[in-house]
Structure formats: structure tokens, C-alpha cells
Amino acid sequence: MDRTVRRVGTAGAIVSLSASEPGRRGARAPARDPEASRRVTLLELFFDLVYVVALALISRGLVQQLDWRQAAQALVLLAAVWWTWAITTLVTDLYDPERTEIKMLISAVMFGALLMTTAIPEAFGARGIVFAGAYVAIHLGRGLFLMPAVRHEPEFQRRAARIVTWFAVSAIPWIVGAFVSGDARLACWALALAIDYVGFRLAYPVPGLGVVPEEQRNVTAEHLSERYQQFFIIALGDAILTIGTMFSLAHSEWQNIGAFAVAFATTLLLWRIYVHKSGQLLPLAIQSARLPSRFLLSAPYTHLVMIAGVVTTASGFELLLHEHPGRVPPAWVAVILGGPALFLVGRAAFEYEVFSRVSWSRPGGVLALLTIASGALFLPSFFASLGAMLVLAGVAYADYRRSLGRPPEAPAPPH
């Protein structure tokens, strides 16, 4: 019988059976048709709506009590929310989201993600078990659903078994953390996330099954790059939501308009810096890479850093209109300037993924933000935000000057 292996990836394998092979007992694995469009489906866009709310709750929670513990808690929540989206995106990259069983799976994950989202404000309080339980149920449930769904394809099952094994291990500190409080919960959940992220980076090694082979970690450039671009836009949507809410508050008109203009310009510059070359050429970079699987192992981390920067920047917008007697607290400056700095760090790593280089404007922008931090302590928060905006404008202008009069640059990924 004619059988063509299309590709396999980190969340399972894609195998294309020809029309002449009906499959065992007429069954067919729910893989994407190799000839079908790789464009994002409406169901995937609908799924993303949950994360608009999740990011908004995280950014607003960060400024409620600005200290290192609150920042660490926000980071844990963001990393958990991001991981549910990133792994689900890999599933939709490998399996056909138009198949009924995959639609059911995505809908179930969406329900679990929404349940997680409702628990975010009290995740380190009374609703910790809701947040942790939903997270564990999403990841274990997805694997347990896929294993029987792909029972006629051993490579599918082995892949699902590896994933379930690692998420079963991380489920222990997730659930234990839900029944303790304070720093103990934070430590347990940080450990659980470390297991999840390291397991992915190591290609889920399991005794007796090994790791996912290199040739089984290819990705679909068009679909995966589009999904990451869309989530970055969702993060910018959180910033826009904050700006709109901020502008509706009762403040002196000149201050309100000035804060609105600075916040909007900052958001626009974040978008511009992201899409300039690297963001636009991500699909081509994946296609031209010698080892496309390396993007699969690095893209979730670099985008998490950039998204964390955008979410922190949105939190800084919340502080724009707040007056503080005396010196501005260092925590305020850390949020207002740290958000753009974190974004630039992630953007530098992203640029290296695409071009094997880092433009001087990325570290230069970070150094500029650090330089103005000390002076920002003695000025209203508006001027700290204005300084951050001007630094981002300088980075965007440097990008423009670098491209001016030069032919389009082709991606040159390091792997």
C-alpha cells in the first residue's frame, strides 16, 4: 500500500495516508491533510479570546501591590497561561482542527483555560485549586484524549505518552502547591513550570521511549508563525484595553490627553519593532533553516519574554495617571521602564533566531532605559513613561535607518 510520511512534530506526528489505504479498520488519525491550507482557522481565533481576558487580569493584578513577590506571582501566572496556549497551538499545527474530535478537544481546552482565567485574581489565595486543577486537567486531558484517538498510529501514541508522562510529573507540585499558601505555593508552582518548560526543551525524554527524534520535530512555517504573531497582537490588545480604560477616568484634561498619547505611541512602537523584518520574515526563516525544529524549541521562550514585556508595559500604563507624593517608588519605575526593557531583550533573541545577529539598537535601548531609571525616581510617572517611549522611538528609528536604501534582507537563521 502506498503510504507517505509527511512530517512529525513535538506534539505528535503527521502521517498522510493515500486514498488507496483506508487505514486499519477504516480508522484514520486526525492529522492535517498535507495538501490542505495551513491558514489559521476560525476556531483557533475563537480559542484566543480567552487569553485577551487572561492577560488583562495579569497586568492589572501586577500593579495592585507592587513588590517582588507580586512580580514573581504574575510571572508564574503568565508562564502557565502562555504554556496552555503554546502547547495547544502545536496540537492544531499537527492535527486537523476541522476534524470533529479535534474541535471537541480545542473546545474543552478553551473551557479549561477560561476556568483558569477566572481564578487568576485569587490564584494565590482561595482559588488556587481551581487554577492548578484546570491547568493539570488541560494538559493531562489532552494527552489522554489523543492516545485513543490515534491508537492505530504507534508514533502518535508514543508522542502522546511522552507528553502525558512529563505533565503527570509536573502535576504533583501543581496540586501540592494548591493546598499550601504564600511562598510555598509560589515555589511549588515555579517548580512545576520548570518541569514543563525543561521537558519541552529536552524533547520529553522518557525511559523506554527515549526523546522525540530530531526528524520528528519539524514545524509548519506558515501556521506556527502566524499563530505566534497573533498572540503578540493579543498582548498588544491588553495594552490598548488599558489605554481605553485609562482615558475614560476623571483626570485633568491635559494630563489625560498626554498620558493617552504617550501610552498609544508606546504600544504602536512595540508593534513596529516586533514586525520590522524579524516578525515579517519568521515564516521564511523557518522554511530556510537547516533544522526547523530549533525554532520549535526556542520560539515559545523568546515570545514569552516579549509578551511579558508587553504585559508589564500595560501595567505601567495603569500608573501613568496616579499621583504619588514625594519620590516615585522604585517599583513603579521598574514596571514602567522594565516592561520595554524586557521586550527589547526578547526581541534581541528573536532577531538572532531569524538573522543570526543582534542589532546594536536592542542592547542600546536596554542600556538607555537603565540610564534614565535613576532620574525617573525624582519625576512624576508620566515622565518615566515618556522616557520609555522616546527610547523605543529611537530603536524604531535605528531600524528604519538600517533598512533605508538597502535591498530586502533574507533571513539567515543560525541552525
| CA gyration radius, the chain | 22
Q: Output the pLDDT for position 125.
A: 94
Q: Residue 272 phi/psi, 5° resolution?
A: -65, -45
Residues 328, 190: one domain?
A: no
The Cα angle at residue 32 between residues 286 and 98, in degrees rounded to 5:
120
Q: How far apart are CA 12 and CA 19, in angstroms?
A: 22
Q: Is the residue at 166 inside a domain?
A: yes
Residues 296, 355: one domain?
A: yes
b/e per residue 314-330 (b: at least 16 CB within 10 A): bbbbbbbbeeeeeebee
CB-based contacts of 292, cutoff 8 Å, min separation 6:
218, 219, 221, 286
Q: Which three cell numbers stand for residue 77?
A: 501566572
Under a CB-based contact definition with an 8 Å cutoff, are residues 146 and 156 in contact? yes
- Number of residues that this document lists for the chain: 415
Q: Output the pLDDT for position 310.
A: 98
- Number of Cβ within 10 Å of residue 412's Cβ equals 12
Residues 268, 311: one domain?
A: yes
Report the first-to-last Cα separation within the chain, whole angstroms: 36
- CATH for 286: 1.20.1410
Amino acid sitting at position 57: L
Q: How far apart are CA 329 and CA 325, in angstroms?
A: 10
Q: Which three cell numbers stand for residue 85?
A: 496556549
Residues 30, 136: one domain?
A: yes
Residues 343, 375: one domain?
A: yes
Q: How far apart are CA 12 and CA 159, in angstroms?
A: 5
Residues 241, 389: one domain?
A: yes
* DSSP 8-class letter at 96: -
Residue 5: which H helix or E strand, with range?
A: strand 3-9
Residues 98, 148: one domain?
A: yes
Q: Of 194, 216, 238, which marks where a domain is finished?
A: 216
Residues 195, 240: one domain?
A: no
Q: Of 158, 181, 216, which marks where a domain is finished?
A: 216
Q: Is the residue at 392 inside a domain?
A: yes
Q: How far apart are CA 95 and CA 63, in angstroms?
A: 39
Q: Which three cell numbers stand for residue 167?
A: 505533565
- Number of Cβ within 10 Å of residue 285's Cβ equals 24
Q: How far apart are CA 348 and CA 293, in angstroms?
A: 20
Q: How far apart are CA 126 and CA 119, in angstroms?
A: 9
Residues 194, 232: one domain?
A: no
How many separate domains does the chain show?
2
CA 329 remoteness from chain centre = 29
Under a CB-based contact definition with an 8 Å cutoff, are residues 93 and 224 in contact? yes
Q: Is the residue at 415 inside a domain?
A: no
Q: Is the residue at 410 inside a domain?
A: no
The Cα angle at residue 271 between residues 266 and 274, in degrees rounded to 5:
120
User: DSSP string covering 334-386, please?
Assistant: HHHHHHHHHHHHHHHHHHHHHHSS--THHHHHHHHHHHHHHHHTTS-HHHHHH
Nearest alpha carbon to residue 311 among 150, 16, 77: 77
pTM of the full predicted structure? 0.89
Strand partners, 16: 4
Under a CB-based contact definition with an 8 Å cutoff, are residues 223 and 292 in contact? no
User: DSSP string covering 382-400, please?
Assistant: HHHHHHHHHHHHHHHHHHH
Please give the average pLDDT of every successive group of 10 residues along the chain, which has 415 residues.
39 34 48 67 93 95 89 97 95 84 94 97 96 98 88 79 94 98 96 96 89 69 85 95 80 76 96 84 75 78 96 92 71 95 96 88 96 89 93 95 76 70
Residues 230, 348: one domain?
A: yes
Q: Which three cell numbers stand for residue 382?
A: 508620566
Q: How far apart are CA 315 and CA 78, in angstroms?
A: 13
User: DSSP string covering 175-238, please?
Assistant: HHHHTS-HHHHHHHHHHHHHHHHHHHHTT--BTTTBPPPGGG----HHHHHHHHHHHHHHHHHH
Compute CA distances 266 → 279, 386, 391, whole Å: 18, 9, 10
User: What is the residue range of 30's domain?
Assistant: 3-216
Residues 252, 197: one domain?
A: no
